Structure 1
Amino acid sequence: MLFGRGKKSKAEPTEDSPTDQADAATSQRDAGVVASGTVKGDFRLSKGPLDASEIDSQDGYVDLGALLIEPVEGLQLRLEVEEATQRVVAVTMDLDGSSLQLQAFAAPRSEGLWDEIREQIGESVSSQGGEVEEISGTFGMELVAKLPTDSADGGQSFRAARFMGVDGPRWFLRGVIGGEAALDRGAAEGLENLFRKVVVIRGDNPMPPRELLQLRLPKDAAATDHHGAHAEAPELQQPERGPEITQIG
């Protein structure tokens, strides 16, 4: 696995009967409740990603601070760095010619952000002359965006991006697939598997909604042996600018 560093400029409530309440309590007890308050076995847990409280150990993951990534053969990682502040604002995973960019944000405890953010992404894409389609995807409602771009022969073409969003306990994780996998669901399978295995570390500090959770280089990145002494450790690459249409807020 290679590692690089990039640069980046309610439904109404109903009243349950005592029997229903007892059944629900039993089911919740049997499933188990994690520290964050999320009931194990809920919809998000069945598809991922996971909260840090929902895994037994952090061993074997690439530790990027707010995100834990499970390494796989052929995976390359790039950190996107905001030029003005030099803070890491995203991680991009390259696999089989396509990419998946990840950003994790603080979120309210009682309500999600994805519905609101999808609308904002659609407005942003439309303002750039692009097209956006809302689809039912692997992780719920998703967006496929197409933005106009200049082709190599001087004509007009487009670049596509598939936006996925998952609301977790006090966090929101957004993934943006680019390349062939943005439109080809078969080609996206590897990146989807990576996305479902991502672990988000929200932390206990109070944070306003939509504030980026802090990412960083792995602690052992600087000590990587480029000649294979530590084959599982990441290798640093040259920076490059991240895609503009993935901005939020």
Structure 2
Amino acid sequence: MFGRRKKNDSVKDGGAAEQVVDGTEADDRDNADADDSGAAAPRRVNLPPAPRPDGPWDDSEVMAPGEGRVDLGGIFVPGVEGMELRVEVAGDAIVAATVVLHDSAVQLQAFAAPKKEGIWGEVREEIGAGITQQGGIIEEVQGPLGWELRAQVPVPLPDGQTGAQLVRFVGVDGPRWFLRGVISGQGAVRPEAAGVLEQIFRDTVVVRGEGPMAPRDPIVLKLPNDAQMVPDGVQTEDQEGSRFSGGMGQLERGPEITEVR
């Protein structure tokens, strides 16, 4: 299944994580951050991209990226039985895709990056700073996908109080691109249960293109050619029974788009 919604429309299914990342990306174009004294804060040195023997893949590294994957233009997302796939919109552009599988989800978003530098170390630092400024808690750990941030992000609850959403930020630097994943739901509450989501991230193929792009510009996505809209309010039994745990509530849905194969 495909669902389409505007970015940051929902906190419950990862919007809080998106807001944190968006807030830091808005500052990424500054040459240096300043502390309270006005002095420039030190920034992490960007190293060359590390080898990716297990993916994610550049389109030049895969002979048939469309086999077993959904073509979203800028990325090819692996298909998994029972998954729901949503696209996320910023203005008129589709900039992210979220795979929902049972009680977990992973948001995938690809960005342009410098030719000879990886940016995940620096981005990770900025995401962490944004979360702690909001009163959240972060832990930087070496996970199955490399260095990642495990975070407790503050979110408003229906009763007006503030709760915490558990989120994992993962990332991999590729040739002139960077792929970020945001894992939520049970995959963040119990990281050992996120094996399928992690494999989806590894098997994703990024299509950077040859055109000029500024570092950190999102790689724009598109809907599959054979996608169809489903009227609002139409849900399957699997959708109605899918819930996140950890205080995240039921997934909110906009118009659904069903892939026709």
TM-score category, normalised to shorter length: 0.7 to 0.9
2-structure distance, mates of 1:208, 1:11: 16
* Cα deviation digits, residues 28-76 of structure 1 (max 9, x gap): xxxxxxxxxx9xxx831x2211010111113322100100012110111
Q: Does 1:137 pair with 2:153?
A: no
SS in 2 for 1:47: coil
Q: Does 1:180 pair with 2:186?
A: yes
Q: Does 1:50 pair with 2:44?
A: no
Corresponding residue for residue 70 of structure 1: 78
* Cα deviation digits, residues 146-177 of structure 1 (max 9, x gap): 02234456654310110001000000000000
Deviation at 1:126, TM superposition (A): 0.9
Q: CA RMSD in A?
A: 2.5
1:73-92 to 2 correspondence within 5 Å?
A: 73-82=81-90, 85-92=91-98
Q: What is the TM-score normalised by the length of structure 1?
A: 0.73
SS in 1 for 2:192: coil
2-structure distance, mates of 1:216, 1:112: 25
1:207-222 to 2 correspondence within 5 Å?
A: 207-222=213-228
Structure 1: runs of 5+ lacking an equivalent: 13-37, 227-236, 241-249
Corresponding residue for residue 2 of structure 2: 3
Corresponding residue for residue 127 of structure 1: 133
C-alpha contact (below 8 Å) 1:47/1:139 kept by paired residues? no
1-structure distance, mates of 2:206, 2:172: 11
* Cα deviation digits, residues 95-135 of structure 1 (max 9, x gap): 12111001100000101000110110011101111011100
Structure 2: runs of 5+ lacking an equivalent: 9-44, 235-252, 257-261
C-alpha contact (below 8 Å) 2:149/2:169 kept by paired residues? yes
Distance 1:239 1:161, change over 3 A: farther
2-structure distance, mates of 1:200, 1:11: 21
Larger radius of gyration: 1
C-alpha contact (below 8 Å) 2:46/2:122 kept by paired residues? no
Deviation at 1:214, TM superposition (A): 1.1
2-structure distance, mates of 1:165, 1:8: 20
Q: What is the total number of aligned residue pairs between the two structures?
A: 197
* Cα deviation digits, residues 201-229 of structure 1 (max 9, x gap): 011001110011010101111389x9xxx
SS in 2 for 1:208: coil
2-structure distance, mates of 1:59, 1:116: 32
C-alpha contact (below 8 Å) 1:91/1:101 kept by paired residues? yes
Which amino acid in 1 is paired with 2:94?
V
Which amino acid in 2 is paired with 1:141?
W
SS in 2 for 1:123: helix
Distance 1:101 1:11, change over 3 A: closer
Which amino acid in 2 is paired with 1:51?
D
C-alpha contact (below 8 Å) 2:181/2:201 kept by paired residues? yes
SS in 2 for 1:186: helix
2-structure distance, mates of 1:201, 1:169: 10
Of residues 85, 107, 116, the one that matches 1:101 is: 107
1-structure distance, mates of 2:133, 2:46: 32
2-structure distance, mates of 1:134, 1:77: 28
1-structure distance, mates of 2:222, 2:159: 39
Of residues 183, 191, 194, the one that matches 2:197 is: 191
